[in-house]
Structure 1
Amino acid sequence: MICIYKTVSELDNTLQELDSVEPGCWINMVSPSEQEILLVSKKTGVPSEFLYAALDEEETSRIDIEDNNLLFIIDIPFTEMEENSLTYDTYPLAIIHTEKAIITVCLKNSKLLTDFIEGNIRSFYTFKRSRFILQILYRVSSYFLLCLRQIGKKSLMIQKKLHKSMSNRVLMQLLSLQNSLVYFSTSLKANEITLEKMLKLEVMQKYEEDKDILEDVIIENKQAIEMTGIYANILTATMDASANVISNNLNLVMKLLASITIVMAIPNVYSGIFGMNVTGLPWSSAPAGPGFIIAITMIVVSTIASIIILNRRGMF
């Protein structure tokens, strides 16, 4: 899908959708087809490799320059619904700076870019290409922070659930959050390297204000990296604590079952002895009534004594 936008004027930042490529426009490509890539490449002079770069989910954050075209690939966060629960992942976003236009390419439609289309971003002009790139980068860092805050709140909710139930579903939700933080950490560190390189580009050094914005973006990105590390440590500690609790509960159950087995073995020992078909057993010549009562009494006394002893040793 290709959408072309252009700001009406500097006084009126309303976006106008175009049918063809014009100077100062923004070309937004979402999961484009091969024909669409070839068309945009022909119209703008951008190498098709630049347009294909963001269509690889495993593409890492980087900068590439060819002629007057600058390619910035940044990892951006995405949220998806999976089994009635939000999951978090990252996908590459390609931002291509050309002499006449800005091109963005992504596999999925991101809220990060729809905010620009819907007019939620102030002082946004498609013809201010360097400023537009910096505004996108700032939104990326802010969106990472927003997702991390959501992960933090979600992890607290899961911890409360773990106090009540150690169900597999809750543990899998915890594992899913932990995996999301691994993706975030990897992407944010790769983005940090790319942002540091951008500081050295001539395009970003034309205006002092743009340089200040880029430095703010780097600070936001570093804050996101720190938050990711904190939440990752919390989730790791929670997973370890959960594993220890499960192991401890298993030990308690096994200890209880072992104690019950010992107690139940005592009547079996007595019944086995007095059930032997041999002569000379105690009370074998006594009448049936008194002999049975004596045997039962011994079983009951021994069983109660074993329960008392095991209870004192903390087995019950």
Structure 2
Amino acid sequence: MIELKKSMIHNGQERSWYQVVAPSHDEIQQLSLQLDISRDDLNDAVDPDELSRFEWLDNGGMMAIVRVPVYDPNQKPAYFTAPLGIIVTDKAMLTLSNYAFSFIDHDIPRKAIISDRSNLLYILSIILRVSYEYSRTLQDLKRAMDDTVYEMRKNMGNDGLFSLLEISKSFVFIMTSLRANAALLEKIQRMRGFSMDVEETDLHNNVSIEMREAEQAVHIHIAILNSTMETFVGVINNNLNHVMRRLTSISLLLMWPSLMASIYGMNVPLPFEDVPHAFWWVALFTVVVEVIIFRFFKKRDLL
């Protein structure tokens, strides 16, 4: 889908801003011919496996690809990242992705006015909004982790552990994407023959700070999640040991009457077989020994 969001005058000619979501092959071809942008560059911007990068285009424009957090409940894990392509030329400004990001609709039209003075300022403005999306996504993941932990305290089952595993995968995806985005910002700063003015430098620093803070938050959440999973695994193992200990104690309790029944069930001469009421005396002796064994196990918390 290609949507024209805004048109403006830049350096004496009209320049349009397009939001492109999940473009088809024909739409990619249309944009390439209309805006003089290589199809390979357009395809890279919507490639799900494309990493963050920044480069100059053959027509003199700029292209930045940044990884953006995405929530899709139909995917496993539900939180992951996808590339967002930002292309700026003399003819047009484009944002390309396979997903419709709400922050583009709400905030970028206001930022697009700034691009009359600086193409890089436009790109950095979008990346700044991306960094805010990471912070919001981390809050959602933390909330999901806390809810899962709370449910596991009430009912410790496999579903909770699998949910924590999916959250752990999401944290790994986000951490990897944040590192790639940080490398993108460093490349912009170190690129030869490219200088930033004061406003661009301030915005670049703000974006870098937001990305670093998000990366630090991810490291903290991963550490907490790993510690939580280890704790639950330890609790499960401890509960299993407790159950096995009880079952062993019960087996030992049942062993004594079974032994007595086995001995006096044999068709051979046995002690006290000629004694009147021998059965009741043997039964009483078995019960007394059973009570002694039971109190012994109970005193040592084995039952």
Confirm or deny: 8 A CA contact 2:62 2:88 kept in the other structure. Answer: yes
Q: Which runs of 5+ in 2 are unaligned?
A: none
Q: Distance in 2 between matches of 1:26 and 1:204?
A: 24
Please give the residue correspondences for 1:204-283 in structure 2 after superposition, counting only pairs within 5 Å. 205-279=195-269, 281-283=270-272
> Closer, same or farther in 2 for the Cα pair 1:35/1:126, shift >3 Å?
farther
Q: Distance in 1 between matches of 2:286 and 2:55?
A: 86
* Letter of the structure 2 residue corresponding to residue 69 of structure 1: G
How far does residue 87 in structure 1 lie from its aligned partner after superposition? 2.3
Please give the residue correspondences for 1:4-153 in structure 2 after superposition, counting only pairs within 5 Å. 4-6=4-6, 23-67=14-58, 68-82=60-74, 87-116=78-107, 121=110, 124-125=113-114, 127-128=116-117, 129-153=119-143
Of residues 255, 280, 289, the one that matches 1:293 is 280
SS of match in other structure, 1:90:
strand
Q: Distance in 2 between matches of 1:126 and 1:4?
A: 16
**Structure 1 residue 311 corresponds to structure 2 residue 303:** no
Q: Distance in 2 between matches of 1:238 and 1:150?
A: 18
Confirm or deny: 8 A CA contact 1:102 1:126 kept in the other structure. Answer: no
User: Which shows bigger deviation, 224-233 or 162-171?
Assistant: 162-171
Q: Which residue of 1 aligns with 2:273?
A: 284
Confirm or deny: 8 A CA contact 1:75 1:191 kept in the other structure. Answer: yes
Confirm or deny: 8 A CA contact 1:130 1:204 kept in the other structure. Answer: no
How far does residue 239 in structure 1 lie from its aligned partner after superposition? 0.7
Percent identity of equivalent pairs: 29
Confirm or deny: 8 A CA contact 2:21 2:100 kept in the other structure. Answer: yes
How far does residue 23 in structure 1 lie from its aligned partner after superposition? 2.8
Task: Provide runs of 4+ in structure 1 moved above 4 Å.
Answer: 7-10, 121-126, 201-204
SS of match in other structure, 1:176:
helix
SS of match in other structure, 1:95:
strand
* Letter of the structure 1 residue corresponding to residue 210 of structure 2: E
Q: Which residue of 2 aligns with 1:16?
A: none
Q: Deviation per CA, 1:59-84, whole angstroms, max 9, x where unpaired?
A: 1111222321222110000112249x
How far does residue 157 in structure 1 lie from its aligned partner after superposition? 2.0
> Closer, same or farther in 2 for the Cα pair 1:124/1:256, shift >3 Å?
farther
Q: Distance in 2 between matches of 1:82 and 1:293?
A: 69
Confirm or deny: 8 A CA contact 2:4 2:18 kept in the other structure. Answer: yes
Q: Which residue of 2 aligns with 1:19?
A: none
Of residues 158, 168, 185, the one that matches 2:158 is 168
Q: Which residue of 2 aligns with 1:3?
A: 3
Aligned length: 299
> Closer, same or farther in 2 for the Cα pair 1:240/1:97, shift >3 Å?
same
TM-score, normalised with respect to structure 1: 0.88
> Closer, same or farther in 2 for the Cα pair 1:267/1:257, shift >3 Å?
same
How far does residue 159 in structure 1 lie from its aligned partner after superposition? 1.8
* Letter of the structure 2 residue corresponding to residue 227 of structure 1: A
How far does residue 130 in structure 1 lie from its aligned partner after superposition? 2.7
Q: Which residue of 2 aligns with 1:156?
A: 146
SS of match in other structure, 2:210:
helix
How far does residue 190 in structure 1 lie from its aligned partner after superposition? 0.5
User: Which shows bigger deviation, 154-163 or 47-56?
Assistant: 154-163
How far does residue 94 in structure 1 lie from its aligned partner after superposition? 0.8
Q: Which residue of 1 aligns with 2:168?
A: 178
SS of match in other structure, 2:72:
strand
Q: Deviation per CA, 1:21-73, whole angstroms, max 9, x where unpaired?
A: x7321121111111111111111111111100022211111122232122211
